Amino acid sequence: MGGVTPVVRQETDGVSCKTPLTMAVMEPTLQPPQSATWQVHIDRSMWIGGVRGLMLQALHPLAMRGVWQNSNFQDDPIGRLQRTADFVGVVTWGTAGEADRLGRKVRDIHRMLRIKDPDSGRVHRVDDPELLLWVHCAEVFSYLEVARRSGLRLSDRQADRYLAEQRRSATYVGLHEEDVPGSLAEMAAYFAETRPRLKATPEARSTVRFLLWPRLPHEMRFLRPGKPLYVPFGALCYYSLPGWARRMYGILPEIPQPAVTAALRSFRLAMNSLPEHLHDRSFQTGTRDMLDGARQRLASEGYDVGKGLRGLRDPRRWPAAI
């Protein structure tokens, strides 16, 4: 992949490496605390992974034009990240019904949208499976790579487990599970096949530059005094990209990658120290309500949520029957 290979290969306690769990409709959350997905998505390094994912997605010319032509991304990039966080949150901690409703909404919106390719003059559907697959892979692999590089203890087997679990999430946007890479090897093969079609277009470069200094939405106004700190945050997202992606962009000068790894670990440590109620303020109201519902359902099933959803990484806080 051209990035830095994580050196930490210990396994996280309680995360099975067997065939992905078959979740019943009545599970309190779509992905249970025993899943690899829970370990990755509850980690605060996801903020870096999310922005890095947007930067990586922008390298697909048609996908980038789809965003450019059909969204207000230029005016509200943080809103785009929040909406992505909401989707990821629902298909992780929501109920099956909540995920189904959100999936239908997303598919209905995508079904109506079109992309005009100025190079060929052709018009493409936003819900083209090739585009949906690229967006999915760039996103989830960014989450996984950044989390592991930042210090989350996941072995290769557990990373395979995470990607296999994410196949289910991909179905909510209209993909078929069997078409989605479900292991590190399959994901590496997918990127090797896709890279020749990637290009740093002017729109892609503008997107990355904009992500280095975005506008903050109203609900995140409490962060505005610290906005100058976003510059190193945005740069860290950029430097966490695979080497081949940074070379395509060529926007920032290269720095030693060990320094990037150290910065990622420091960011993760600082963010993971924030109380959960404070961290949740960065989400939209609907996302916060969904997370509250997840805590209530898990508590009713015997989980100890005294330390929030993050506390459920510890198997000792699970019901004795598990």
- Helices then strands, counting H and E runs in the chain, come out as 14, 2
Query: 226 vs 216, 220, 233, CA distance in Å?
Result: 11, 11, 11
* DSSP β-bridge partners for residue 125: 114
Structural tokens at position 159: 């990373």
pLDDT of residue 78: 66
Q: What is the pLDDT of residue 322?
A: 72
Q: Is 141 helix (H, G, I), strand (E, B) or coil?
A: helix
Q: Which long-range contacts (CB under 8 A, 24 or more apart) does 266-270 make?
A: 267/45, 267/48, 267/150, 267/233, 267/236, 268/43, 268/44, 268/45, 268/150, 268/151, 268/152, 269/151
pLDDT in tens, 157-214: 999 999 999 999 999 999 999 999 999 999 999 999 999 999 999 999 998 998 887 6
Give 25-41 pLDDT, tens digit per residue: 468 999 999 999 999 99
Is there a contact between 158 and 135 (Cβ–Cβ < 8 Å)?
no
The residue whose two tokens read 């280095």 is 212
Lowest mean pLDDT segment, chosen from 43-47, 122-126, 198-202, 289-293:
122-126
Residue 22 confidence (pLDDT): 43
Quick count: other Cβ atoms within 10 Å of Cβ 288? 17
What is the gyration radius of the CA atoms in the chain, in angstroms?
19
Angstrom CA distances, 165 to 15, 161, 169, 320, stand at: 12, 6, 7, 24
- pTM of the prediction? 0.88
Average of per-residue pLDDT values in the chain: 88
**Portion of the chain with pLDDT greater than 70, in percent:** 84
The pLDDT-based confidence of 257 (bands split at 50, 70, 90) is very high
Q: What is d(CA 299, CA 294) in angstroms, rounded to the nearest whole number?
A: 8
pLDDT of residue 3: 43
Amino acid at 80: R
pLDDT score at 231: 65
Q: Give per-residue pLDDT as tens, 233-242.
A: 899 999 999 9
- Concatenating the DSSP letter of every residue in 67-83 gives HHHHS-TTT-HHHHHHH
- For 123, phi then psi, to 5°, come to -110, 130
What pLDDT is stored for residue 121 in this prediction? Answer: 83
Domain ranges in the chain are 36-317
Q: Who wins on pLDDT, 168 or 230?
A: 168
Query: Of the ranges 104-108, 261-265, 281-285, which one carries the lowest mean pLDDT score?
Result: 281-285
**Per-residue pLDDT at 189:** 98
Q: What is the pLDDT of residue 23?
A: 43
